[in-house]
Structure 1
Amino acid sequence: MNVLPFFLCFLLFSTFCSPSLSEHCNSHDKKVLLQIKRALNNPYLLASWDPKTDCCDWYCLECDPTTHRVVSLTMFSDDRLTGQIPYEVGDLPYLETLLFRHLPNLNGTIQPSIAKLKNLKTLRLSWTNLSGAVPDFLSQLKNLTYLDLSFNNLSGTIPSSLSSLPNLEALHLDRNKFTGSIPESLGMFQGKAPDLFLSHNKLTGTIPVSLGNMDFNTIDLSRNMLEGDASMLFGSKKTTREIDLSRNMFQFDLSKVEFPKSLARLDLNHNKIMGNIPPGLTGVDLQFMNVSYNRLCGQIPVGGRLQSFDYYTYFHNRCLCGAPLESCK
C-alpha cells in the first residue's frame, strides 16, 4: 500500500483545518473572552465570538499585530446587553482600551478587577446604568490618559486620589449624581492639566483655590450648586480654550478678570456675576459667549466679536446696555 498520498492529505488537512496551527489569538485571552460572553448571557453583540474561530477576528476587540494579545475591548450601543461588568475583564492583562458605552441595561458598580489592568490607557464607562461611588483603585492605573465615567448614576464624592494619575489628559465625571465639594487635589495634577468635565451633578461649595494654578484647556463646571469666586480660573497668561460655569451661584466681579487670548468659548449664564464686561474681551476671538441672567451693568465694549453675538447672549442683566442690547442712555 502506498502511504504517500494518505500522508499528503493528512498534512494538508492539518495545515488548513487545524485551529492550533492557523489561529493567532492567545489561548488564555480566548478563554477569558468566552467567560465574559457567558457572564453577559451571550448577547447578540458578541455573536461573532465563536470558539471555533480565531478570537483576533471577533468583533468588539483588537489584538496586537505582533504579540496577538487582546489590547482593546469595546462594547457599545446595545440595549439588549444586560448584567454587570464581568469580573473576567481584569484577566486580560494587555488591555490598553476598555469601553462599555451606550449600554442602558448594564448595571452594578465599577468592577474592582479593573484595578489589575496596569496597561490601561483609555477607560470609558459611559451612558450606562452603573451606580455607586468612583473607587479609589482607579488611581492605581498610572498609564491612564483618558477616563470617562459620564452619563451614569454614580454618586458620592469625587475621590481626591484621581489627581495622582500622572498621564491623564481628560477626566469626564459629568452627568452623574456626585455631591460634596470639588477636591483641592484636582488643582494639583502632576503633569499637564487634563480637560475637566464635572457638569450636571450636585456639587456644592466654593472652587478650590488650587484650580487657579492649573492651565486647563477645557473646564466645565456647569449645572451644579457651586458658589463664590471662580475668577481664578481665568488669566491672561493661560492657554484655556473653553470655560463653562453656567447655572451655578458664582459671584465675582467680571470687570477685574483678565482673559486668555486663546479663549474660544465662554459660558457664564445663570449666576450672580457682577461688574461690567471688560474691554479686554474685544481682543479675544470668541466663537461662543453667554453672560445672560447675571448682575452685569454698563456698556458692552465695542470691538472684536462682542457685537456679533445676539440679544440672548446678554439679556437679563441688571443694567447692561449697548449693541446688541438697547443703547445706553
Structure 2
Amino acid sequence: MGTTCYTCFLSLLLLLLSPFALSERCNPQDKKVLLQIKKDLNNPYLLASWNPDTDCCDWYCVTCDPKTHRINSLVMLSSVPETNLSGQIPPSVGPVPDFLAQLSNLQLIDLSFNNLSGPIPSSLSQLPNLVSLRLDRNRLTGPIPDSFGSFKKPGPSIILSHNQLSGPIPASLGQLDPQRIDLSRNKLEGDGSVLFGANKTTQMVDVSRNMLAFNLSKVEFPRSLISSDLNHNEIYGSIPVGLTAVDFLQGFNVSYNRLCGEIPQGGKLQSFDVYSYFHNKCLCGSPPPNCK
C-alpha cells in the first residue's frame, strides 16, 4: 500500500473511531434534550457519563431501541445515596421535566424515590409509546392531569403512589385500560370507580389511603383483576356479587371504609382473612362475623 493510500486509510480509520462518529448512532434531538436535562439538574454526578462527545445510547440511565437508536427508557434512580438527585429542582426544569414529552419514542419513565416536588406535567400524555410511568415516592402535589386520559390506548401502567396529590381522579382515566394503576397514599378524593370496568383487562388497582368516596355496589370489576386495594378511604355501599366471578383474585382489601351488608359467598372472597374487611360500618358474613 502506497504512502498516500496508507495515510488516507489511517485518516479514515481515525475518523470512524472518533467520538463524533460514534455519537452519530444517537438521535441528535434526543441527545439535545438529555443534555438539557443534565444542565437543568445542575450536572449531578449520577449523570456524569452524559458527555456530549459520546454516544448517548451508552450513557448511564439511558437505553435505546436497538434498531432505531431512539431513546426508549430513562431511569434516573440509584441505590447509592451519594449518587441520588438531591437539592432543589431549578426553576428552568419544573418538578418533572416537561420536555420529556419531546422524547417521542420513550417507553419507560421512572423517576421514583426522589425528592421531586410540584405538579405532574400534563404534556407526558403526548408520549405515544409510553408503557410505564413511575413517579412514586416523591413530593408531587396538585391534581392528576386530566390529559392522562388521552394516552394512547390501553395506556401505560401508572404508578403515582406515596406523593401528596390532591383533587379528584380524572374521569378521563376511565378511557384507559392499563395493566396496573397505583394511586395509593395521596390525598385524592371523590370517585375512584372510573378505574374499574367489566370490559377492561387491568390486573392491579391500588387506591388505598386516600379520601375517596363512592358506591362500591355499582362497580363492575374486570375479570382479569389480580389485586385490588381500597383500604383507608370513605367508600360506602356493599361488596358487589360480581366480584365472585373474578377467578384470579389474589389480593383484596377494603378495610377502614364505610361498607355495609353481607359479603357475597363464592369466588375468592372467603379466601382473604378478616383484616381485609376490618373496620367497616356494618360489613358482615364470612370471614367477618355472621350477620345477625
Q: TM-score when scaled to structure 1?
A: 0.69
Quote the offset at 1:85 in angstroms: 2.5
Task: Look up the SS of the partner of 1:307 in the other structure.
Answer: helix
Task: Find the aligned partners of 1:270 and 1:26 in 2 and give their Cα distance.
Answer: 60
Q: Give the AA of the match of 1:248.
A: N
Quote the offset at 1:137 in angstroms: 1.0
Pairing 1:144–2:144 present: no
Task: Find the aligned partners of 2:17 and 2:134 in 1 and give their Cα distance.
Answer: 33
Same amino acid, percent of matched pairs: 55
Contact 1:157 1:180 in 2 (8 A): yes
Aligned residues: 248
Partner of 2:254: 291
Contact 1:226 1:249 in 2 (8 A): yes
1:279 to 233, 237, 241: 241
How far does the alpha carbon of each residue in 1:118-152 deviate from its partner, in whole angstroms, 9 at most, with x for none? 82111101243345211111100011011111000
Task: Look up the SS of the partner of 1:312 in the other structure.
Answer: helix
Partner of 2:85: 129
Runs of 4+ aligned residues of structure 1 deviating over 3 Å after TM superposition are 29-32, 86-94
Task: Find the aligned partners of 2:59 and 2:259 in 1 and give their Cα distance.
Answer: 46
Task: Find the aligned partners of 1:94 and 1:151 in 2 and give their Cα distance.
Answer: 24
Contact 1:223 1:246 in 2 (8 A): yes
Matches within 5 A, 1:63-212: 83=45, 85-86=47-48, 88-89=50-51, 91-93=53-55, 95=57, 98-99=60-61, 119-127=70-78, 128-130=84-86, 131-132=88-89, 133-212=95-174
Task: Find the aligned partners of 2:150 and 2:225 in 1 and give their Cα distance.
Answer: 22
Task: Find the aligned partners of 1:267 and 1:235 in 2 and give their Cα distance.
Answer: 16
Task: Find the aligned partners of 1:163 and 1:326 in 2 and give their Cα distance.
Answer: 46
Contact 2:46 2:85 in 1 (8 A): no
Task: Find the aligned partners of 1:189 and 1:97 in 2 and give their Cα distance.
Answer: 28
Contact 2:153 2:177 in 1 (8 A): no
Partner of 1:27: 18
Q: Give the AA of the match of 2:71.
A: L
Q: Give the AA of the match of 2:75.
A: R
Task: Find the aligned partners of 1:92 and 1:210 in 2 and give their Cα distance.
Answer: 42
Q: TM-score when scaled to structure 2?
A: 0.77
Root-mean-square deviation (Å): 2.9
Cα 1:168–1:83 change in 2 (3 A) is same
Task: Find the aligned partners of 1:97 and 1:328 in 2 and give their Cα distance.
Answer: 61
Quote the offset at 1:88 in angstroms: 3.6
Task: Find the aligned partners of 2:110 and 2:168 in 1 and give their Cα distance.
Answer: 24
Contact 2:19 2:55 in 1 (8 A): no
Contact 2:161 2:184 in 1 (8 A): yes
Gaps of 5+ in 2: 1-11, 26-43, 63-68, 79-83, 90-94
Quote the offset at 1:217 in angstroms: 1.1
Task: Look up the SS of the partner of 2:75 in the other structure.
Answer: strand
Cα 1:299–1:97 change in 2 (3 A) is farther
Partner of 2:189: 227
Higher strand share: 1
Task: Find the aligned partners of 1:154 and 1:26 in 2 and give their Cα distance.
Answer: 39
Task: Find the aligned partners of 1:122 and 1:250 in 2 and give their Cα distance.
Answer: 33
Q: Give the AA of the match of 2:19.
A: H
